[in-house]
Structure 1
């Protein structure tokens, strides 16, 4: 029996990958070349040179607290990896697994009947601030620096005869950031909690840099998860009358905080780059991890099923998550496809709404 899925984790994971790949399934896609469209936190020099981009993410919400209340803060994002494939300048029969041979970069190579292409991948990262007592946050801001060093790995590719003929080189530049958590009393027993995530990565020659190049130095699909023990978060969408002015004074930048977890729960907030309602849930009909009542699931699935065999082959070798999306779509039965269409949720009578 599989372990039950944590509803908070399920939604956070869906947010992390929403927009990861919508129509640009491969590097040669002509439908849409724009990727990594949500939650980008870019280096300051690039954000200042490009209207609409930001180097700061900020989440603010209200927390009703009891003495001893603790707050956990988690920043989650994707770090991009540049994947370059190429033939070895000198193919060899015997090469140690940790070798770093000379590689001639190419758009794609075929090795042992498999096609490998140059593109981008993404790796999940988390920054955990850990439990902080609310009284501690009221007295002083909590700052946590974050440094991710540059990374480079080489995966050797062998022909069917054992000859090492090509390689996949994966590289990520260094990233630097800072998480700052603070609190301010705005009413008796109530604090405005702030989580601020800043990209401090130095980036020269940002002026004129293409967005896909700058994204290699950004935190992508960034969002915040706040948890409270001994306290209750206040809904920003439906605040009580006595705190309405305080909730309207919350300043969020790049994210929108909503209550998450089981319906009625108030101990966890997800500040998402996608606007959600309180207590969002994965659609039960969805074969994946979308949460929009399956409309996007249906569009994605139908779009994938109309791809040519050549386009599917490119999608299959793009990266593991893209390949899983393709295999999931191709395995759906007719009944499962029909179930993705026509779901209607959140409908209440006027009497219920007035209550």
Structure 2
């Protein structure tokens, strides 16, 4: 699988909603992680399925029994970052463990501003090449787990005294991937891949959504690759496979062909509805994490933030700081490129239902 061809659009999906304008702790950013969340199974069932604990990708593969498929499941693993005040200040920081501290929402230390926040770490699980013949009507199951951990960072005044602490904690997450195939025509197979969150809640945070989010697979999506065969577009399938394409059942995701236009060896199964061969506009200077807005508008809004607001944005985390620095460094030509561009619309290659119609009819 040539992941380089789809890396940018896949990362855009992964970080969509990571932080929204105005890019600082605000009411709007209290509800993040709105796409592709797979919650622990027990929590989902207690919520009567309102929050999904699994997704299902179904797509078509044209090949034979020797055709192999592979998959990369990607998601964000959240980290709770708590800011604490150390009272009284400590002259030194020991390695025996963190000092006692009082959690606060925000703390200023010298010229630095620190917020309690949720960070994220990229995770991925790889399913190596699976021959179609090995998963025909016989699921291949692969479990995965990422352990929990906690770590601490001292916040020092200019005199070296420890006056605060950044306490980070990551809960363990575990899940399972199921892959199976079924013959649906001559040289045509339906590939089914399910991702399930099997993380136990153990009674520690079952009722609190913020606690549950730490055990959630966030922004879950799948990259699929094929060798010795090719994927079939579900949006524009050949006529002879249209019925088989319509029978594919996708739950919480939508698979589209990805990579170079015309290639059929990679699919992106995304929690966001996309078209075949989606691309990030070449004029875009980088991630804005807020696909509901236009890059140019977000750029102008960032540039009009007050110094205090920019300071709050920079204090959120490294990605917000990078976005701020990138935006402030844009030159006139780069700003002009954001203003707009002409695009050639790719024609629909299926039946033209408007043949024979006269203008104005």
Shared fold (TM-score, shorter chain, > 0.5):
yes
Range 176-185 or range 15-24, more displaced: 15-24
Query: Does residue 1:164 correspond to 2:162, yes or no?
Result: yes
Counterpart among 227, 239, 242 of residue 240 in structure 2? 242
Residue equivalent to 2:359 = none
Q: What is the distance in 1 between the residues matched to 2:121 and 2:113?
A: 22
Classify 1:353/1:156 alpha carbon distance in 2 versus 1 (closer, same or farther; 3 Å).
Answer: farther
Classify 1:163/1:201 alpha carbon distance in 2 versus 1 (closer, same or farther; 3 Å).
Answer: same
Residue by residue over 1:260-291, the C-alpha shift from the partner in whole angstroms, topping out at 9 and shown as x without a partner, is: 11111100100001111111122111101479
Counterpart among 250, 253, 260 of residue 262 in structure 1? 260
Q: What is the distance in 1 between the residues matched to 2:21 and 2:125?
A: 30
Range 210-219 or range 228-237, more displaced: 210-219
Query: Does residue 1:46 correspond to 2:43, yes or no?
Result: yes
**Equivalence map 1:292-311=2 (5 Å):** 296-311=294-309
TM score, norm. by length of structure 2:
0.88
Residue equivalent to 1:143 = 141
Would the aligned equivalents of 1:175 and 1:201 in 2 still touch at CA under 8 Å? yes
Range 345-354 or range 284-293, more displaced: 345-354
CA RMSD of aligned residues (A): 2.8
Q: What is the distance in 2 between the residues matched to 1:108 and 1:153?
A: 19
**Equivalence map 1:1-355=2 (5 Å):** 6-23=4-21, 25-27=23-25, 29-31=26-28, 33-48=30-45, 49=47, 52-96=50-94, 99-138=97-136, 140-203=138-201, 209=207, 211-289=209-287, 296-348=294-346
Quote the offset at 1:189 in angstroms.
1.3
Aligned residues: 351
SS in 1 for 2:214: helix
SS in 1 for 2:128: coil
Would the aligned equivalents of 1:283 and 1:291 in 2 still touch at CA under 8 Å? no
Quote the offset at 1:183 in angstroms.
0.7
The unaligned stretches of length 5 or more in structure 2 are 356-361
Q: What is the distance in 2 between the residues matched to 1:80 and 1:38?
A: 14
Range 261-270 or range 98-107, more displaced: 98-107
Would the aligned equivalents of 2:236 and 2:350 in 1 still touch at CA under 8 Å? no
Quote the offset at 1:292 in angstroms.
11
SS in 2 for 1:321: helix
Classify 1:205/1:298 alpha carbon distance in 2 versus 1 (closer, same or farther; 3 Å).
Answer: farther
Quote the offset at 1:97 in angstroms.
5.1
Quote the offset at 1:228 in angstroms.
0.7
Would the aligned equivalents of 1:22 and 1:300 in 2 still touch at CA under 8 Å? no
TM score, norm. by length of structure 1:
0.90
Range 162-171 or range 89-98, more displaced: 89-98
SS in 2 for 1:6: helix
Q: What is the distance in 2 between the residues matched to 1:62 and 1:352?
A: 18
The unaligned stretches of length 5 or more in structure 1 are none
Quote the offset at 1:51 in angstroms.
5.7
Residue by residue over 1:163-189, the C-alpha shift from the partner in whole angstroms, topping out at 9 and shown as x without a partner, is: 222211111222121111111111111
Classify 1:192/1:206 alpha carbon distance in 2 versus 1 (closer, same or farther; 3 Å).
Answer: farther
